A = this chain, B = another copy of it.
């Protein structure tokens, strides 16, 4: 079994990491998409991909970005150029743990994992399960706050939800 490394981080840091997830999902679920790229470092990896591809180390992703600038472009696209039915998202995150710590260029990187479930609510419809999977993330201290250097959203359904407009 891969041991949890949560004991390697202080209680204070661990609670800050929990806060980061709370803030992240609140930002998305309140549709404050303009603030979303600010959760990532300037150079970053953001990928949403099916579990099958992740396990086979295939690179095909439903969404992918390698910088905050690309995330900003994505937000612009979803707000201005994509034609879609609007829907609400509601994230649940659970089972957060620290996978390990890394040193990279003098900075500490916190490796985390957590399960997530996202519910979708379309207009005049009931809420439904939209996407479930896990976050496999790397978090760094950046400009006095915690940011994602990497966020992999690895979802369980092999069906690629082509209607996935908003970030996970």
Contact = CB atoms under 8 A, between A and B. Distances in A.
Interface of A: 1-4, 6-7, 11-12, 14-16, 18-23, 25-27, 29, 32, 35, 38-39, 51, 88, 90-97, 113-115, 117, 119, 121, 123-129, 131-134, 155-159
Contacts of A117: 90, 92, 117, 119
Nearest to A121: B156
B90 A93 contact: no
Contact of A92 (B1, B18, B95): B95
21 contacts: A1-B27, A1-B32, A1-B38, A3-B23, A6-B16, A7-B12, A11-B12, A21-B95, A26-B115, A29-B115, A90-B117, A90-B156, A91-B115, A92-B94, A92-B95, A92-B115, A119-B129, A121-B158, A125-B159, A127-B155, A127-B157
A126 B157 contact: yes
